[in-house]
Amino acid sequence: MSNIQALTGALQQSGMRITPQRVAICSLLAESHEHPTARQIYEQVKREYPSMALATVYNTLDTLVKLGAVNVLGHAGDDHVHYDADTEPHVNLACVSCHKIIDIPSDHVRHLDSEISAASGYKLLGARVLYYGLCPDCQGQPHNNLKTW
Ligand SMILES: [Zn+2]
C-alpha cells in the first residue's frame, strides 16, 4: 500500500527535489481512489499552487512509475492515461462509458505475480491488470448496449 511518505521518499531517493507542489502531487496520489489522469492531478494541485506546471506533474509521475511506486493503467476508453498509487496486486476494472476505474482485490493476481517472478527471475515493480466493461449504472442505459470500443 502506498502512502505519501513512501512516494516522497521514492522521489527523494531518485535525487528529485521535494517541493510543496511535488508533495501535493504525492498526497493526491496516495489518497485518491479515483485513478486520476495527469491532467486531473494538475487541475487539483493547481488550485492550491497556481504556479504549478503540467510538466512538473508529468516528470513527477514518470519518476514514480520508473521507481515502481505508482502504476500506469493506460486509458479507460477515454484516451487519457490513468495512474494508480496502489501497487499491491489487484485488478482494475474500467467502465468504457463513464470511465471510472475501480479496484478489485484478487488472490489470483497475487499468485500470478509470484508465478511470473519465479519463472522469469524478474523483480516485479508492478502490474497492470485492467478489465474493461460497462459498470452496473451504465448497463441501464440502452444506448450503451451496442457501444463499440
Ligand atoms: Zn459506467
Average pLDDT score over the chain? 88
93: cell is 476494472
Ligand 1 ion: nearby residues, β-carbon < 5 Å: 95, 97-98, 135, 138
Q: In terms of pTM, does the model score above 0.85?
A: no
pLDDT, tens digit (0-9, with 9 covering 90-100), for 127-142: 778 898 999 999 987 7
Q: Does 110 fall in a domain?
A: yes
64 pLDDT higher than 60: yes
How many Å lie between the centroid of ligand 1 and the Cα of residue 21? 32
Q: Does 149 fall in a domain?
A: no
CATH of the domain at 137: 1.10.10.10
Q: Which tops the pLDDT comparison, 1 or 125?
A: 125
> For 14-37, what is the mean pLDDT?
93
Q: Report the pLDDT value the prediction gives residue 76, as an integer from 0 to 100.
A: 73
Query: For 66-96, b where at least 16 C-beta lie within 10 A, e where not — what string?
Result: ebebbbebeebeeeeebbbbbbebbbbbbbb
Number of domains composing the chain? 1
Q: Does 117 fall in a domain?
A: yes
How many Å lie between the centroid of ligand 1 and the Cα of residue 141? 10
Could you tell me the residue range of the domain that residue 22 belongs to?
4-144
Q: Report the pLDDT value the prediction gives residue 3, as an integer from 0 to 100.
A: 84
Q: Does 21 fall in a domain?
A: yes
Q: Does 87 fall in a domain?
A: yes
